Amino acid sequence: MSISLYQASVPSFVRMLGNLSEILNKAAAHAEAKKIDPAIFINGRLAPDMFPLSRQVQIATDMVKGCAARLAGVEVPSYEDNESSFAELQARIAKTIAFLQTLSPEQIDGNEQRAIQLKFGSNEMNFLGLPYLLDFVLPNFHFHLTTTYAILRHLGVDVGKMDYVGRV
């Protein structure tokens, strides 16, 4: 049995974004219960030179919306990257999930060899579809999800491995 490019991407992205949403719900509830300013969590980081939690969520959503759009050959949605509350981060996650759900397997499957070019300022990265997903997007997506989880755990939110992995 083989797995398609769509199966290896969109359903997993949607599932993990749902888990991220639940983790953020726990963080918001924790902040409210403990009377902690939510901005402490939104701006939290593990080290001074790391991005804050808000940017971790932004990058995670950017990774998957960009990946799915590029694999499908459609325009990548653009977001402002200005979220500063749990509600705004939740809206960004919901918007990303909604976009992912507009894409069909027919748009993505068969694009394992699609040329993908990324530009970051003066830097350029070139991939083929399958290595782009497996070697660039998935590690980056999980890094930023894990970092979000770790920031919240470090700040005392009662989350565990099953919150990250989710219920199967």
What pLDDT score does 69 carry?
98
pLDDT in tens, 127-138: 999 999 999 999
Mean pLDDT of the chain: 96
Give every CB contact of residue 104 below 8 A, 6+ residues apart in sequence. 6
- More reliable by pLDDT, 168 or 118: 118
Token digits for 127?
């991939």
Q: Among candidates 122, 7, 17, which has minimal Cα distance to 71? A: 7
What pLDDT score does 168 carry?
66
Collapse the DSSP code of 156 into the 3-class scheme (helix H, G, I; strand E, B; otherwise coil) and give the result: coil
What pLDDT score does 103 carry?
98
CATH of 10-158, one of 3.40.190.10, 2.60.40.1260, 3.40.50.300, 1.20.120.450: 1.20.120.450
pLDDT in tens, 41-90: 999 999 999 999 999 999 999 999 999 999 999 999 999 999 999 999 99
Sign of the torsion formed by the C-alpha atoms of 28, 66, 72 and 145: negative
State how far the Cα of 81 lies from the Cα of 166, in Å rounded to an integer.
26
Whether 75 and 31 have beta carbons less than 8 Å apart is answered as no
Whether 49 and 140 have beta carbons less than 8 Å apart is answered as no
Is the predicted pLDDT of residue 1 greater than 80, yes or no? Answer: no
| Strand pairing category for 115-120 and 123-128 | antiparallel
Q: Where are the domains of the chain?
A: 10-158
Whether 92 and 59 have beta carbons less than 8 Å apart is answered as no
This prediction has a pTM of 0.95
What pLDDT score does 120 carry?
85
Residue with tokens 């990257």: 81
